[in-house]
Amino acid sequence: MLETILAISGKPGLYRLISRGNRNLIVETIDEKKKRMPTFATDKIISLADIAMYTEEKEVPLREVLNNIKQKEGGKAVALDYRKASKEELYGFLAEVLPSFDRDRVYPADVKKLIQWYNLLVENGLDDFDETLKETEGNNIDDRK
């Protein structure tokens, strides 16, 4: 599932990949509006499956971090108001779900975006973060780093 969920630099929110055109991708917003639009090669687009968080030892796939948040919050949206939270509150929250995160390379804005994305996915019923793992195990594809 995370392979088809996209973040587009300079545009708020998350998008679902709908179709691939000749020179573009057709994406749809992940919210109640479900607005469709084309994206082009000039847009910086990244799949959530390709994102990882820095820790002291290695990079942890976003899928694992999202699952840790889901476990902590009981499958509900994060109660912390990320818009008003201080740096210490944001880092405290992340330390609960990813204790060994690298405080030098993970910025407060990264934690805010993580919470925003998690809440958006949960509110729209896209909270099966292990779906990616099940698909790759069945196909013997190497796990992404």
pLDDT of residue 131: 59
- Phi and psi for 115 in degrees, rounded to 5? -65, -40
Give Cβ neighbours of residue 23 (< 8 Å, ≥ 6 apart). Answer: 40, 41
Taking the C-alpha atoms of residue 56 and residue 42, their distance in angstroms, rounded to an integer, is: 34
Question: How far is CA 92 from its chain centroid?
Answer: 19
pLDDT of residue 127: 84
Taking the C-alpha atoms of residue 133 and residue 115, their distance in angstroms, rounded to an integer, is: 21
pLDDT along the chain (145 residues), means of 10: 90 93 92 92 92 94 95 93 95 96 95 95 88 43 38
Contact 25, 39 (CB under 8 A): yes
Amino acid at site 118? Y
pLDDT of residue 25: 94
Looking at the chain, the domain(s) classified CATH 2.30.30.730 span 2-48
CATH of domain 2-48: 2.30.30.730
Tokens 């476990």 correspond to what residue? Answer: 71
Taking the C-alpha atoms of residue 18 and residue 86, their distance in angstroms, rounded to an integer, is: 37
Answer yes or no: CATH 1.10.10.1650 is held by domain 51-137: yes
Tokens 């990264």 correspond to what residue? Answer: 110
pLDDT of residue 47: 93
**pTM reported for the whole predicted model:** 0.84
Tokens standing for residue 12:
């708020």
Looking at the chain, the domain(s) classified CATH 1.10.10.1650 span 51-137
pLDDT of residue 1: 75
pLDDT of residue 62: 95
pLDDT of residue 74: 92
Nearest residue to 110 via CA among 102, 121, 122: 102
Amino acid at site 46? I
